[in-house]
Structure 1
């Protein structure tokens, strides 16, 4: 048999060298193969993963305590053993021999401090079972001796281990002690162990007991049948003894049976009695059930009768018509003292009608004859009351207005303008405002005729007030009438143009100040009073910028205080697209229609006195129109829009007539000097700007555009009638236009545009006229220069002196004839410029332009001569400039 590696001293010394310095002693060292392979179905170990290792068991003494370790050694690349891993044996919890290994040489060691790791424990494979048993026995001995406990052993019989240990009798010597009593660590080897394994694994007493037990039943193979017979005899003896015991207890059994039979009879009797009681109880339960059902029905009937009586009382109360309300609805008075009772009757009637409708009344009652009859009775009451109230209100509105119309003190009279005051009228109407609201709730269709009656009556009053006020307003306004011929060339009109006509526009403003707020208030009051579900028409007293001018007897904010919903609440609930908005505008048309004629009469009257006052009236109208909300009283906005159109139409009529007056100048015989409509337009524009006052800018700008366009076109036509003097007429008139409108052009953008247009036309006319004068005096000189310029496009300057009519001789003749006595020619040019000019103040600037233009042309001539005739001498530009400067 081969020698075990556990007896290899060289291996032990190599292990001791590897752990030198750790104060540990090697107890045993043995070579193993380490693997993590799993045994397959074939039962063969995965040898390809095996690695050579050395397992060494070591101990370390520390006082009276000892520690045991399991060290794993591996071979380095140089073949030297070195520590790889160390386990403390106090954590050894399990020793398991792998059963899948047929040889039984593979085992694993489980440590409790490694349970949390997911890596499987390594498998250790020995060369043979002797080596396996040897290391396992040594391991168990150390655990029992040093740690005083044994790990769990799995996969191997402990008896087999004990028998193997007994055959091999390994022993362990205890550590020696010194004289002082301290233990001295010695090399504890397997050979020196004197403690037997069987003593360690099985105690002496246990061994003696097992031997005695085994000695009792130890038999040879041939004694098996005798042993079986013996057991059978013992079994029969036991059964016979049991039967004998049972027979001996027979009297007791009989006594028990008699007792059971008596108990059975008693139970049968009890069962019979219980059956009788059960039948009686069942009959009693049925009787009780019947009594309870009758009681429940009686109780339910009582409750239902009580509820029915209460419900009938409610229905009767709902169907009852109080006598005082019936009297008010059918024949009561509508005097102011009785209105509170009428309102209460209306409220009760409306509530009673709503109470008989299905949502408020149980549908079960809706088809009852009493309910139907009561509903018909209430409908009849409603129709009667609505008819009576409508008739009364129609007559009441007419009587109020007739009373006011018949009293002349309500209207403007000669010498006295009276502001319309409807405070008393509204106060009297307000008494019936809540009545109208209830009438709308009872019968919405009844409001149509009432609204028409109110509009028809109040329209008479408003038209009478407006007519009387307008008539007295015109009669009391004293102002002289301006002529309508503003731009015609007649004399004397400019004197009347300065007449102050501000009273005209003031009268128009007063008409708007008095009546526009009144009409807006009337529209708002009408909408509230007649229960239109539309946004409020205007806050009280906010109908225009001039509302602060109201008289002290104005009723102010109380005019429209009907206790009806405020404007913001109404806006949220109805909105601008309410169907009542169309009906309101139609009613307002009936209410206010015809009153616009008196406003038109004031506009026409103002136009006849001073057409330019249309500008002021247009601005006043714009101011009032911008003060109205987009959803304000529809007719008032339409009225203001119509007035604005009327004023614009009258002003356009004035502009057209003035333009016609301008065009009439074209048909005059011969015009010289500044046309009369040029300065008159400046005066007209100045006055128009005074009337604008920050408003009507577009209206005036359009008039300016039309005026100036006609003026310029007419000027050009007049100038073309006499082409000889056309430029003189144009430059004089364009200059006059600029001079007269210089100040206004600086502040009016539209006039500034025409100012620049006139300036350009003036410069063009000046250039044409000056060129004509220069060519008239120096025609040969500049015609000669023109020929040279034309030829220079086709031939070189050196060839020009050889052309026909352009020789040096011709040049000298031309210079002699043109420049000899040049001072006289320049003087003649000045006289010609002065001769036909009507505006003497233009002469200095025109003469300066003429001298500059002549010098520019002469300088060009000198340059041409120097280029074409370099050897010829002509008077220089400097000499000519000095000559002109002295003229």
Structure 2
């Protein structure tokens, strides 16, 4: 069954717009009305009274916003016709008044609704304000008032319908009959109208004649208008032609003016000032004239660039005057570059020749002189900007200039290094140490080895301190002076520059503001060319450094360690690109020093190996304590990062020492262990302090300790078996049989009976103190190092006691009824020895 609902209509004004709503209310469990659904009347498109309900109280409201959904249109059944009419009438009034339109009405006559509204209009005033959204309960009691704001038809229409209906007061009960009658009367009226029109034919003919006359006038007017249109079109074409000619004349005038301006600018570019032409073709390169030369170069560079795109419009490039002027400028450029290059080559050579001819400039006997190139660089800086302009004018001209500069300055640098190295060696006083460090002979060499040769490494360090910063500065100066696009060298004050002041700094860094930016964008080819030029500049100077290294090696080979450390410190300080050849020079020096030190190590190892040629070697070999002295001095000479050089020497030395010791020991198997343990003990004693601080020596120290223990064990075992051979051989036979038979069966084996045990114990342990004393004398007899005897004797007693304890355990297990001296008795006897 249908559920009871209450329908309410309300309006609401918001932002000068009125909205209408249809509320559907339902009863809750407590009988209280609560909202169920809400419809907006602006979406109401259809009001339909269903014909399947004979009472006419059922109707359906169609909303256009529900068409696209599968939702059944809302349908209600009112309690009577009056309630239905009251609700629908109010809905239609709201739609017409608020929304300005009426929905489609189906199944109900609008006239019938208007009549019903007139009959049921209350006496109260017809208009009522609904601004605050009045709500009408359409299912209220019968005494509720219905306010109709506006009728569905106007007042005049209503009066016409009343008059029409008044004519037909005939008691017609059905609307269909009334409608049929109205249709018949309408046909009659239409027939009367057609008849009236046919009777007015003369009037129609007169109207047609007037229309024809008017058409003739219109045709004449159209002809005249077409004539005027042709004339106007011709006139417009003439005006356009005149305007086009005027525009072309104006454009030609503007273009001619612009062309004259461009030609004036071009002529200004093509003009060569006479003062610049004279300077470029025949001017002097004296220092006083360099400002005019630089100005001429700047003008020439700008003029050449001005005749090339994009500075010059590409359309001007093939003009004859431009081509001729470009050829003239190229000729000026070629002439100037040739003259300037020839002057600079001669200038570099003359500067160096002047300095070489002055002997006071170099180190002399009794006086070391530090090379000073400040004046040379100051004179060269005068032409630094000229070189930059030459590079921009003709990059190829720098190659010969660089070679000329390198060739001249190389002579000066090599002369300075040679004179300095010769005087450095002559002024250094140091006694020569022999290279025979590890040979077997003895004598006064030990005292000679302790001579102070620090002046040798100091001389080498002085050579590097003076010349490496000089060579770095020269490389940097050359890099910038000759316009190489690479980064600068280590700045003054860095370790590689020897904490120099700014006296040798490169003033040419300020020649071009873009120099630093160009150095960041250096190319591989530019760096390669720089390295080739630096090789020409500094090649050959390494021979003087080699001479100092060889001289130092002859005085004291161990000074190679100090020189190696000094060289490594300088290598770590040279990291700039322009110092490439200086790094190569330092690397070559390091290789030379390493080769000399390796030569010393090889000779010392050869001296060690000569010891094995002796027929008989006893006691501590001579090279063991000598190596300790050598290692102590090598540690004193270590500087910087030369630790690896010394460690490699240690590895080679000790490897040869241990191998030679083994060979010497193998020549006489009888005394092999004695030689090994005495020499390994001496090695440990002599290197104990150094092994605590040098990891490489500590490794060999532990190796010597293991070898010493092994030699001691072997030697002690030989001595013990020499005195107690029958006793411990008997024990060994028992141990061997225990792997195959049970302990109870061993006393029944041949040679292992109880009687045999008694004979062995009697022969070995009767007068055991004499046997132990003989064992001590045997240990003492062949030992040359008396300080080792106490420790060896303790080891010997412990080893003998361990072996005897094992023998006693075997006897107790195999021969439980037999008695032998106990381990405690044997320990007491040993304690008294």
TM-score (norm: length of structure 1): 0.74
- Give the counterpart of 1:664 among 607, 610, 625: 610
Partners of 2:446 and 2:565 in 1: how far apart? 25
Q: Residues 455-493 of structure 1, C-alpha deviation per residue, up to 9 Å, x if partnerless?
A: 000000000000000001000100000011000122221
Q: Give the counterpart of 1:722 among 645, 660, 668.
A: 668
Structure 2 residue aligned with 1:475: 426
2:292 to 341, 345, 348: 341
CA distance in 2 between partners of 1:205 and 1:282 (Å): 62
**How far off is 1:823 after superposition?**
1.3
Q: What's 1:485 paired with?
A: 436
Query: Within the alignment, does 1:654 sit opposite 2:600 as a pair?
Result: yes
Shift of 1:286: 6.9
Query: How many angstroms does 1:632 deviate by?
Result: 4.6
Q: Give deviations 1:562-616, integer Å, cap 9, x for gaps.
A: 5346886345322xx5211111111111000000000000000000000000000
Distance 2:538 2:59 in 1: 118
Structure-2 change in CA distance of 1:858 and 1:312 (3 Å): same
Work out the CA distance in 2 between the residues paired with 1:360 and 1:449.
31
SS class of match (2:733): helix
Give the secondary structure class of the aligned counterpart of 2:577: coil
Cα displacement string for residues 760-779 of structure 1 (whole angstroms, at most 9, x for unaligned residues): 11111111111111111122
Asked whether the 8 Å contact 1:137–1:161 carries over to 2, the reply is no
Helix, strand or coil at the partner of 1:555: helix
Contact 2:808 2:822 in 1 (8 A): yes
Shift of 1:143: 8.8
Does residue 569 (structure 1) correspond to residue 517 (structure 2)? The answer is yes
Contact 2:488–2:576 (Cα < 8 Å) also in 1:
no
Partner secondary structure for residue 695 of structure 1: coil
Within-5 A mapping of 1:108-187: 108-109=58-59, 119-122=72-75, 155=107
Q: How does 1:140-289 map to 2 (within 5 A)?
A: 155=107, 210=165, 212=167
Structure 1, residues 203-235: CA drift from partner, whole Å, max 9, x if none?
Answer: 9999898555669xxxxxxxxxxx99x999998
Q: 1:842 to 1:86 in 2, by over 3 A?
A: closer
Cα displacement (A) at 1:307: 2.2
Once residues 271 and 604 of structure 1 are traced to their aligned partners in structure 2, the CA distance between those partners, rounded to angstroms, is: 125
Do structure 1's residue 390 and structure 2's residue 341 form an aligned pair? yes
Cα gap change, 1:305/1:487 in structure 2, threshold over 3 Å: closer, same or farther? same
State the alpha-carbon separation in 1 of the partners of residues 754 and 767 from structure 2.
Answer: 21
- 1:821 Cα offset (Å): 1.6
**CA 1:397–1:724: 2 relative to 1, 3 Å:** same
1:604-683 paired onto structure 2 within 5 Å: 604-629=550-575, 631-683=577-629
Taking the aligned partners of 1:759 and 1:426, their CA distance within structure 2 comes to 64
Alignment CA distance shift 1:334-1:779 (3 Å): same
Find the residue that maps to 1:481 and give its secondary structure: coil
Cα distance in 2 between the residues matched to 1:276 and 1:240 = 44
Kept in 1: contact 2:362–2:420 (CA 8 A): yes
Change (3 A) 1:519 1:214: same
Q: Secondary structure at the match of 2:360?
A: helix
From 675, 693, 702, give the equivalent of 2:648: 702
Residue 370 of structure 2 is aligned with which of 401, 419, 424? 419
Give how far 1:270 is off. Answer: 13
Q: Which whole-Å CA distance do the structure 2 matches of 1:207 and 1:809 have between them?
A: 168
State the match for 1:498 in structure 2. Answer: 450
Closer/same/farther in 2, CA of residues 746 and 139 from structure 1, 3 Å limit:
closer
Superposed CA offset, 1:54-82 (max 9, x none): 999xxxxxxxxxxxxx9999xxxxxxxxx
2:697 maps to 1:751: yes
The higher-RCO structure (CA 8 Å, 6+ apart) is 2
Please state whether the residue corresponding to 1:485 is helix, strand or coil: coil
Aligned 8 A contact 2:279 2:296 in 1: yes
Q: In 1, distance between residues paired with 2:81 and 2:450?
A: 147
Whole-angstrom distance in 1 between the partners of 2:114 and 2:317? 109
Query: Quick check: 1:93–1:110 contact (8 Å CA) kept in 2?
Result: no
- Distance in 2 between residues matched to 1:144 and 1:594, nearest whole Å: 121
Report the Cα distance in structure 2 between the residues aligned to 1:104 and 1:619, rounded to whole angstroms.
Answer: 124
Cα distance, 1:838–1:311 mapped onto 2, change above 3 Å: same
Deviates more, 1:775-784 or 1:501-510: 775-784
Match of 1:350 in 2: 301
Q: Check if 1:438 corresponds to 2:389.
A: yes
Matches of 1:279 and 1:159, distance apart in 2: 65
Q: Is the 8 A contact 1:541 1:556 kept in 2?
A: no
Q: Residue 358 of structure 2: which of 407, 410, 418 is its match?
A: 407
Q: Give a deviation string over 1:1-47, Cα, whole Å, max 9, x none.
A: xxxxxxxxxxxxxxxxxxxxxxxxxxxxxxxxxxxxxxxxxxxxxxx
1:799 maps to 745
Match of 1:865 in 2: 811
Does the CA contact (< 8 Å) of 1:521 and 1:559 recur in 2? no
> How does the TM-score come out when normalised to structure 2?
0.79
Q: 1:822 to 1:402 in 2, by over 3 A?
A: same
Alpha-carbon distance between aligned partners in 1 of 2:786 and 2:194, rounded to the nearest angstrom: 178
Judge conservation of contact 2:438–2:626 (CA < 8 Å) in 1: yes
Deviations 1:312-352 (A, max 9, x none): 21111111100010001000010111111111111111111
Query: Secondary structure of 2:687's match?
Result: helix
Deviations 1:406-435 (CA, angstroms, capped at 9, x unpaired): 011211111111111111101111111111
Inter-CA distance 589–106: structure 2 relative to 1 (3 Å threshold): same
Q: What's the secondary structure of 2:618's corresponding residue?
A: coil
Give the 3-state SS of the residue equivalent to 1:861 in structure 2: helix
- State the partner residue of 1:379: 330
Query: C-alpha deviations, 1:804-858, integer Å up to 9, x for none?
Result: 3222222222222222221111111111111111111111101111111111111
Which structure's CA Rg is the greater one? 1
Asked if the contact 1:607/1:650 (under 8 Å) is kept, the reply is yes
SS of 1:633's equivalent in the other structure is: helix
Residue deviations 1:163-189, cap 9 Å, x none? 99xxxxxxxxxxxxxxxxxxxxxx999
Distance verdict in 2 for CA 1:268–1:543, change over 3 Å: same
Q: Give CA deviations for 1:255-313 in whole Å, capped at 9, x if unaligned.
A: x99xx99x9999989998x9999898788767766655554444444333322222221
Kept after mapping to 2: 8 A contact 1:537/1:633: yes
Q: CA deviation at 1:782?
A: 1.7
Q: In the alignment, does 2:313 pair up with 1:367? A: no
The 1:824/1:353 distance shift into structure 2, 3 A limit, reads same
Match of 2:125 in 1: none
Give the CA deviation at 1:363. Answer: 2.5
Compute the displacement of 1:353 (Å): 1.1
2:176 paired residue number: none
2:781 to 829, 835, 838: 835
Tell me, yes or no, if structure 1 residue 741 matches structure 2 residue 691. Answer: no
> Could you tell me how far 1:724 is from its partner in structure 2?
1.5
1:875 aligns to what SS in structure 2? coil
| In 1, Cα distance between equivalents of 2:740 and 2:191 | 169
Relative to 1, partners in 2 of residues 1:53 and 1:522: Cα closer, same or farther, differing over 3 Å? closer
1:465 corresponds to: 416
CA drift of 1:715 comes to 0.9
Preserved CA contact (<8 Å) 1:516 1:543: no
Equivalent residue, structure 2, for 1:582: 528
Q: 1:510 aligns with which of 453, 458, 462?
A: 462
Contact map agreement 1:517 1:541 (CA 8 A) in 2: no
* Contact 1:423/1:559 (<8 A) preserved: no
Q: Secondary structure at the match of 1:357?
A: coil
Q: Identify the match of residue 847 of structure 1 among 793, 799, 821.
A: 793
Q: Where does residue 482 of structure 2 map in the other structure?
A: 530
**Superposition CA RMSD, Å:** 4.6
Aligned residues between the structures: 740
Residue 726 of structure 2, aligned match among 754, 766, 780: 780
